[in-house]
Amino acid sequence: MKQQELIPHLFRTEYSKITAVLCRRFGFEHIEVAEDIASETFLAAMESWAYKGLPENPVAWLYTVAKNKAATFVNRNSIFQEHVAKEVVGTAEEYMEIDLSEKNITDSQLQMLFVICNPIIPVESQIGLSLRILCGFGIDEIADAFLTNKETVNKRLYRAREKLRQERVKIELPDGKEIESRIQSVLLTLYLLFSEGYYSESTDSVIRKGLCLEAMRLTYLLLENRQTNLPAVNALLALMCFQASRFDARLNVNNDFVLYHDQDENLWNHELINRGILFLNKAAIGKVLSKYHIEAGIAYWHTVKNDSIEKWKHILQLFNQLLVLQYSPIAALNRTYAFSKIYGNQAAIAEAEKLNLTTNHFYFTLLGELYQSVDTDRAKENFDRALFLAKSVSDKKIIQDKIDKLISDCE
């Protein structure tokens, strides 16, 4: 790897490790100090490596510099000395022993995950802070992923850090009993982080894929620890594997979305599908059926390309269960689609019309599809309505293609 590629790569992987370890050592109230030291370490690397060339072991070089910078900081900053060093880091000598071993890095990152995914801050802030602190994403990359600007992201992250500081959140794993409830918000944040990447409107496919991979890495971090290796975590990772298996098939050469039925299944990643099945089997213990179990089940059936009544019966039952557990418009629409595969379009139209999601373009797209074989005029009306409601360019294009096809089929 060339130097200009190596630094961003190392930044992505090592920035978050250094920050997590230092922050755990200093306490969350000094998170900015930890982040600053990590950033300065990379600045030093860029300056030094440009002159002297790459060190033999760049990662070890970074860790040494980070340790030295941390020590210098403690020595020079008398306020920090008086207020923090004594109570938190002990003497300067002791402090030198910042532990950047693999085990301590993993433990620190896992604990930071629980600190950040705390329901006292809004869920968008949890995702943003995770990306910044645990994944080493730049502010501009986060802004791009959320389709917003840097100022908004900076403000959001600032408020979130302040809130966590005010609440004196401790950097530790919740104890045994508490883990089951606290892990819910961790899983939700990781689920949303993955979805942000998978369904993002961002045109930068590298960032989108990056979000998905980071969500998977952090979920795997939970599985590596005995206390947090719970069935719902396995289910979530299974879900992510099944979804991610279609990543390369979902976009064509022009970066347009390819709908599921038009995808080339040779582009599906079968290794990821098999990994997903493995995690799903591990999820199938215990008594709790989480929404991740159900969604992973649905995603599993979507890795079976062949259409059969049996497949759709399974999918319909899973959507029924999912909706009973937690309503969402998109699940209601997908359930109705599965319903049509078993009971036919006419019956599904009656089900669909009860949903009354009249501000949702997916609702009218579904109705348009169901009417296609029943009444082409109604199909066109519904697609037109969907086109009117759709906001993103890619959604509009998909609907326009359906209208064009409908018209050409009628001729």
Could you give the CA distance from residue 111 to residue 7 in angstroms, rounded to a whole number?
26
In the complex, the smallest distance separating the C-beta of residue 382 from another protein, rounded to whole angstroms, is 18
In the complex, the smallest distance separating the C-beta of residue 257 from another protein, rounded to whole angstroms, is 25
Could you give the CA distance from residue 175 to residue 195 in angstroms, rounded to a whole number?
29
Q: Which residues bind another protein (CB under 8 A)?
A: 313, 316-317, 319-321, 323-324, 327, 331-332, 335-336, 339, 351, 354-356
In the complex, the smallest distance separating the C-beta of residue 361 from another protein, rounded to whole angstroms, is 18
Nearer to another protein, 191 or 339 (CB): 339
In the complex, the smallest distance separating the C-beta of residue 311 from another protein, rounded to whole angstroms, is 15
Nearer to another protein, 251 or 323 (CB): 323
Nearer to another protein, 79 or 324 (CB): 324
Could you give the CA distance from residue 191 to residue 281 in angstroms, rounded to a whole number?
19
In the complex, the smallest distance separating the C-beta of residue 366 from another protein, rounded to whole angstroms, is 12
Nearer to another protein, 49 or 343 (CB): 343
Nearer to another protein, 139 or 342 (CB): 342
Nearer to another protein, 282 or 313 (CB): 313
Nearer to another protein, 302 or 313 (CB): 313
In the complex, the smallest distance separating the C-beta of residue 362 from another protein, rounded to whole angstroms, is 13
What own/partner pairs with CB < 8 Å and gap ≥ 24 does 67-70 have?
67/96, 67/98, 67/100, 69/37, 69/40, 69/41, 69/44, 70/22, 70/25, 70/37, 70/95, 70/98
**Distance of alpha carbon 77 from its chain centroid, rounded?**
38
Residue 173 DSSP one-character state: P
Residues forming a β-bridge with 119: none
Say if residues 133 and 31 touch (Cβ distance below 8 Å).
yes
Residues forming a β-bridge with 251: 257
Could you give the CA distance from residue 342 to residue 336 in angstroms, rounded to a whole number?
10
In the complex, the smallest distance separating the C-beta of residue 113 from another protein, rounded to whole angstroms, is 32
Q: Which residues contact 2 (CB under 8 A, 6 or more apart)?
A: none
